[in-house]
Amino acid sequence: MTFHVYDTTLRDGAQQEGMNLSVSDKLAIAPLLDELGVGFIEGGWPGAVPKDTDFFARAQKELTLRNAVLAAFGATRKVGLQASEDPQVLALLASQAPVITLVAKFDVRHVERALRTTPEENLAMITDTVSFLVAEGRRVVVDAEHFFDGYRFDPEYSRRAAVTAFEAGAEVVALCDTNGGMLPNWVGEIVADVRETVGEGPILGMHAHNDTGCAVANTLAAVDAGASHVQGTVNGYGERTGNADLITVVANLELKGGRTLLAGNGLAESSRLAHAISEITNISPYARQPYVGASAFAHKAGLHASAIKVDPDLYQHIDPTLVGNDMRMLISEMAGRASIELKGKELGFDLAGQGEVLTRVTTRVKEAEANGYTYDAADASFELLLTEEVRGERPQYFTVESWRTIVERTGHRGTVPVSEATVKLQAGGQRQVVTGEGNGPVNALDHALRLALATVYPEIAHFELIDFKVRILDQMHGTDAVTRVLIETTDGQRSWSTVGVGANLLEASWEALTDSAIYGLIHAGVDPR
């Protein structure tokens, strides 16, 4: 049986609140979707959205797709017009897209109240538009808008509309849970009934929204009931709570259901591709996203680690490499010796048989977390801790004499305050006394530290702080509460995270900043000077 994987990230996904894709963004995402191995990429609504008209025009010249074909999205003809005379239908042809996806009303209430026409005229609109586009050599997918809600209100009309679309020449009728309110058992029963109505030959599809949190489950239920065309978006993008996450759907069907859906080796690259698309959309990846999230195969409890040490499959539902992800061991107060040993191996430390070291590290981690530290998201700080316990000390790139910050506001109210930091340290046999300014005291400290080290370690010029998070611990203590800071730094090739804890923001930030500098120099292959 032919099975379709249809991506609508560039159209339906782009309706997500806060997402605004330019034509260039779409042209950059489309090859990534093609590399994933989907069969269809819905590019937008040419003729209705000028940006989408431009996308299809440029795609003809600039895109070379190996696995997917482009689909242009539009609507059936307007009430009272012929399809051959409707400007928006003609714009779909002008897009040169080989596939046209038509949204049509399948809920009689929407026909009468939104279109303000008769049920019979709506069926005629479906017939005229589909048959016209097929006669023009286009493959046609019909998105049955509000199908499930319409079916539950008037199943006979929704069935008639589906049969009408197929009789007019539609290749696929995708049943849409437009409001996202369905549950899997409802979807399964309805799709099974429609399958019986249209017979075994026609291709039924599923387009699910996630308003009940069931978009993926509803899609799988539809497939079990006879659908062989699935629609969704990468990372579950979409309006309101989003669409079905296409990678999760496909991974479940391929890895759990034994099907082969994607062209090439796309599933094994899905983690990389999902994150690459996140960069273009400028929406941070969701760490707990199934399969491709950073936390999807992260283990924290010591009990898990003990079992994973024997057999990783005992606490993982699949091999992470099948989706291009990897197992991670998180170090926390819940960690036991097995967690430390596995994490050490991940970081390049062979701790097998070093019971005394493992005990020291485990004890130190638990004591540190009791004082407010967390190593879940600060692998670099944990590696420095491990270095101290295994090798006796961390590399001594510099010795700090003192540091201080000043925030000064001059002039009238509303004047921007000036932040200044002074750092005194020894590096490379030289005493450095440096003052740096910045946008706030932490930024000033960061600049001063870099200036102080740059003459001895010019490699530090490549380091850039890219994320900064502050957490106030023991908030009941008010301004006397302990502060935890997590920072992320990059050298342009890789990134690392460090943690600092102190009685105030500056003290915690200084610890995280100095750890970051030391870790970065170690991994740049720089020896202390």
Q: What is the mean pLDDT of residues 40-56?
A: 97
pLDDT of residue 15: 96
- Averaged pLDDT score across all residues of the chain: 90
pLDDT of residue 333: 45
Task: Give the percent of the chain with pLDDT over 90.
Answer: 67
Q: Give the pLDDT band of residue 76 (cuts 50, 70, 90).
A: very high
- Cα–Cα distance for residue pair 363/157, rounded to 1 Å: 68
Mind spelling out the 3-state secondary structure of 225-261? CCCCEEEEEHHHCCCCCCECEHHHHHHHHHHHCCCCC
Q: Give the pLDDT band of residue 286 (cuts 50, 70, 90).
A: confident
pLDDT of residue 1: 66
Task: Name the 3-class secondary structure at 515.
Answer: helix
Lowest mean pLDDT among 42-51, 131-140, 165-174, 481-490: 481-490
Task: Give the percent of the chain with pLDDT over 70.
Answer: 92
Equal fold, 17-281 vs 399-523: no
Residue 275: how many other CB atoms lie within 10 Å: 16
pLDDT of residue 334: 45
pLDDT of residue 336: 55
Phi and psi angles of residue 474, each rounded to the nearest 5 degrees, phi first: 50, 55
pLDDT of residue 358: 83
Pick the more confident residue, 286 or 519: 519
- Token couple for 214: 């069931």
Highest mean pLDDT among 317-331, 410-424, 434-448: 434-448
Residue 144 pairs in a beta bridge with 104, 175
CATH class of the region 17-281: alpha beta
344, 386 Cβ separation under 8 angstroms? yes
pLDDT of residue 265: 85
Lowest mean pLDDT among 115-124, 236-245, 423-432, 486-495: 486-495
Residue 355 has pLDDT above 90, yes or no: no
Buried b (16+ CB within 10 A) or exposed e, 16-28: beebebebebbbe
Residue 294 has pLDDT above 80, yes or no: no
Residue 479 has pLDDT above 80, yes or no: no
- Cα–Cα distance for residue pair 357/514, rounded to 1 Å: 25
pTM: 0.70
pLDDT tens-digit series, residues 318-353: 988 899 887 766 555 445 566 677 777 777 788 777
For the chain, the structural domain boundaries read 17-281, 298-387, 399-523
pLDDT of residue 314: 75
Q: What is the mean pLDDT of residues 223-250?
A: 98
Residues 6 or more apart whose CB falls under 8 angstroms from that of 156 comprise: none
Q: What is the mean pLDDT of residues 299-313?
A: 58
Q: Give the pLDDT band of residue 494 (cuts 50, 70, 90).
A: confident
Residue 173 has pLDDT above 90, yes or no: yes
- Report DSSP state, residue 371: T
* Terminal-to-terminal C-alpha distance of the chain: 66
- Cα–Cα distance for residue pair 373/485, rounded to 1 Å: 9
pLDDT of residue 392: 84
CATH of domain 399-523: 3.30.160.270
